[in-house]
Every structure is written in structure tokens, then in C-alpha cells.
Structure 1
Amino acid sequence: MLAGLLALPGCTPVQELAKRAPSLPPAAPERQVTPAPPPPIPSRVIELAGYCSRTEDDGFREEARVRVAANEVQALNWKLWVPRRRGSCAFDLSEFRQVQKAPHIELVARDDSGCKLMVWQDPRRVTLAHANCQKRCTPGIYEEAWPVMFDPASGMCAQVK
């Protein structure tokens, strides 16, 4: 019976239809979008007598004191604690030397460990951040050690929400 159906006029086997069907153009390859690099940090004169002490809802805690006059760091003591007693990180100005004033402030560890502290200001806050400072933290917590941010007007902890 199948042979009879295939022999009917106007009936074409499925394989034949597939051969005759117009082919769709190939799908365009996905474009790789490379994110634009962040804009350069604008050079600003930083004046700050900062003190930030707070505990977040998740238990992360920080306490930082920093004094900067005309982009010269005069005092710095910063400690942060990761929740559930997992550990802490500590930074003190006596262990660093300032190597850059603009466009952002940069301090490097005197022990040649590669640890850097950076301070910069945007319109809403002054940020104190670290890079390559695993040796100043309890092992295993460095990835959770975030920067501290100050309100440039009050010197207190900046609101990050």
C-alpha cells in the first residue's frame, strides 16, 4: 500500500521534499561584545579625616581610620572581619610607603609582598581598597575582603545602597 501512495500523482516522498526545500541562511555568529574599559580615575585633591566603623547585616565588620591632606596619607589603620569568625585582614600605614599621589593615591607594602592600598575619590565617596594583600588576611578569606568607603563631606562610612 505504501508503494501505491508514493506512486500517486502529486505525492512526493519526504526525503525529496527536504532536498527541494529552500535552505535557510546560516545563523549569524554571535558577536563577542568586549566591555569598554572603565574610564580613568579623575585626578582630585583628596582631603579626608575619615572614620568608618560598622557591621553589615551578614556579619561583615570593618573599622577604618584614615587621614589624607592634599593627597598625602598621614594616618591609616584599617581592619575588617569576615563573618562567622572566619578571619580578618589588617592594614597599618607603618607597613606601607606612598608611591603615588595622582590620579589616585597608591601605597605599597614595605615588605615587597606586592600588596597595594589605593585611595580615590568620585563625587559620592572616597574609596580605600587593597590589591594582592592575601598575606595580611587570615588564609581563605581574602576574596571576601571588600574596600571601605567614606562620605567625603562627613568622613563617616559612605552609604552604598
Structure 2
Amino acid sequence: MILKPFRLAVLGLSTLTLLACNTHNSATTTLPEAVVQQLPQKNTGPVSVKGSCQQREVDGYGDKIKLEVEKNDVKALDWTAQPHGSACRFELKNFTQTSNQPIADLQSKKDKKCHVYIWQDDDHVTVAVYACKKLCRSNDKILPVLLDPKTGNCQPKKSG
């Protein structure tokens, strides 16, 4: 399936980006220059999207997400990721938004190392988790969700 390698590539980029993020109690997260250079060159700016989608890969991996973001302020998040026989749920009520620049950063109230990051480039809105192993045993198997920034639907599969 063409989408899975694309999602894995985004996961790799996300992991590099998120490893370098310095989370603190300010409205801005500073990314190191090496990470900034790896981010998409064309960024459409703050995320503003209202979306809902459900998808399942041929290998059984699935996502169900409802998301509402206005200018990087997360208003709603309910995401269930189903990596290969398990399920992990991320709800806004269990997170605190610690940053909205350059990306939306949600920190778990139960595990301060766990974050959900949301950002946008020209092609899609990305929702990704980082370091949530205490909340979800399958954390290392969770792929980012890619949403169409115009419709809020799951990103269409690329043909090719």
C-alpha cells in the first residue's frame, strides 16, 4: 500500500523533529536549526482545521480521529489509534496545550513526557504522538494521522 511508506516517512521526520523539541511552559517551542531545516519548506502557517475521519490499512492498522484546531489552538481532539491488535486513545481532556508556535503541542496530564503534536504544511495536517509509552504500550507503532487541510478528511492515498 502506497500510503503506509508515506506515513512511515512522515513518522521518521516527526520523530526527528519531536526529539529536538524543548517543551516548557511558554507559548512558543524553539526547534533547533538542524530540525527546522528538515521541516517542509512551504508551511501554510498556523493550523485551522475541523476534521473527522476513520481509516484502516490492509495490514490492520487503523485510526479514528476527530480534531478541531483554530490558529494552532486545539479545541477538540479524540483520536483512537489501533496499531495491530491494540488500541490507544488520546483525548483533549487528558492533555494541556503547552505551546502553539511553531506547532501545537499537547502535553499529557498523567505523563509529562507524552506529547501530541499538530502542524500543517501545504499538503496535509499532521497529528503525531511522542514518548507516550506509559499511556500506550504500542506508542512506538503509532503512525501520524494525515488530514486534508481543506476538508478535514483523512489524507487521500497517493496514486503512483
TM-score when scaled to structure 1? 0.70
1:53 corresponds to: 54
Mapping 1:117-128, distance limit 5 Å = 117-128=116-127
Mapping 1:16-27, distance limit 5 Å = none
1:153 corresponds to: 150
Instruction: Give the conservation status (yes or no) of the 8 Å contact 2:98–2:105.
Output: yes
Counterparts of 1:159 and 1:125 in 2: how far apart (Å)?
Answer: 10
Q: Which amino acid aligns with 1:96?
A: F
RMSD: 1.9
Instruction: Give the conservation status (yes or no) of the 8 Å contact 1:52–1:64.
Output: yes
Counterparts of 1:43 and 1:123 in 2: how far apart (Å)?
Answer: 6
The gaps in structure 2 that reach 5 residues or longer are: 1-32
TM-fit CA distance, 1:40: 6.0
TM-fit CA distance, 1:88: 1.4
Larger of the two Rg values belongs to structure:
1
Counterparts of 1:160 and 1:135 in 2: how far apart (Å)?
Answer: 32
Structure 1 residue runs of 4 or more that deviate by more than 3 Å after TM superposition = 40-43
1:72 corresponds to: 73
Instruction: Give the conservation status (yes or no) of the 8 Å contact 1:62–1:78.
Output: yes
Instruction: Give the conservation status (yes or no) of the 8 Å contact 1:124–1:152.
Output: yes
2:114 corresponds to: 115
Q: Deviations over 1:89-127 (max 9, x none)?
A: 110000101011111110101124410010000100000
- Judged with a 3 Å threshold, the aligned counterparts in structure 2 of structure 1 residues 98 and 78 are, in CA distance, closer, same or farther, namely same
Counterparts of 2:149 and 2:44 in 1: how far apart (Å)?
Answer: 15
Instruction: Give the conservation status (yes or no) of the 8 Å contact 1:81–1:89.
Output: yes
TM-score when scaled to structure 2? 0.70
Q: Which amino acid aligns with 1:149?
A: L
Tell me which of the two structures has the higher relative contact order, counting C-alpha pairs closer than 8 angstroms and 6 or more residues apart. 2
TM-fit CA distance, 1:80: 1.0
Percent identity over paired residues: 30
The gaps in structure 1 that reach 5 residues or longer are: 1-35
Q: Which amino acid aligns with 1:71?
A: N
Q: Deviations over 1:26-64 (max 9, x none)?
A: xxxxxxxxxx94426557121100112011111101101
What is the DSSP-based 3-state SS (H/G/I as helix, E as strand, rest coil) of the residue aligned with 2:60? coil
Count of matched residue pairs = 122
- Judged with a 3 Å threshold, the aligned counterparts in structure 2 of structure 1 residues 160 and 134 are, in CA distance, closer, same or farther, namely farther
Q: Which amino acid aligns with 2:97?
A: Q
2:64 corresponds to: 63
